[in-house]
Amino acid sequence: MPDRLGWTLRETLIVTVLGAVFAVLYLGWVQVWLVAQAAFGALTMDVVMGFWFIVSIVAAAIIRKPGVALASEVLAAAVQILLGSPAGLLLLVTGVVQGAGAEVVFAATRWRNYSLPVLMAAGVGAAVFSFAYTWVRFDYVALQPTLVIAMFVLRCLSGALLGGLLGHWIVEALYKTGALAGLAIDHEKRSAIA
């Protein structure tokens, strides 16, 4: 049985590559958000926010070890900074917050359950942590309570769907290619069949 705590070189490389790939996708997603915001208004941020949580869910579902969700989000943030994100170093805080929100959900299962409901819950966890952070950063207390509630609900739904569900689909598609052979996800899927 694979070691539950230590990361192998292959696992470390996979988390690093996922962080870099999703950093580029995250930067592209900013453009999607800006266009959508211009067309549909301010609540668009909360509708699309879940996509920015996805690397933590994809990486954790593949590697299935403590710290993967957090590390992958922080790596994605660091790569975005290196690629010139206007958010600057503050993006590292965002990565820590979002990754920690997903990581807490996986920790609650002792890093043993990566079913679709848990992945969706991890997306919601990232949404809740991110909402708490933006509440403080952008002074949501000054907003109308009904608007804040709508923002929170939309962000949680986005985390569940764009983070958890979409993350699940990506992991399943990657698994079908055979590229994840020998990793924790492969061991678990094979033992479930046996």
Q: What is the pLDDT of residues 114-172, one digit of tens each?
A: 999 999 999 999 999 999 999 999 999 999 999 999 999 999 999 999 999 999 999 99
Angle subtended by helix axes 166-177 and 54-63, to nearest 10: 40
What domains lie within the chain, and their CATH numbers? 9-193 (1.10.1760)
Percent of the chain with pLDDT over 70: 97
This prediction's pTM: 0.94
> What's the mean pLDDT when you consider all of the chain?
94
What whole-number distance in Å separates Cα of residue 95 and Cα of residue 157? 19
CB atoms near residue 82 (< 10 Å):
10
Percent of the chain with pLDDT over 90: 86
pLDDT, tens digit (0-9, with 9 covering 90-100), for 21-44? 999 999 999 998 999 888 888 789
pLDDT of 193: 80
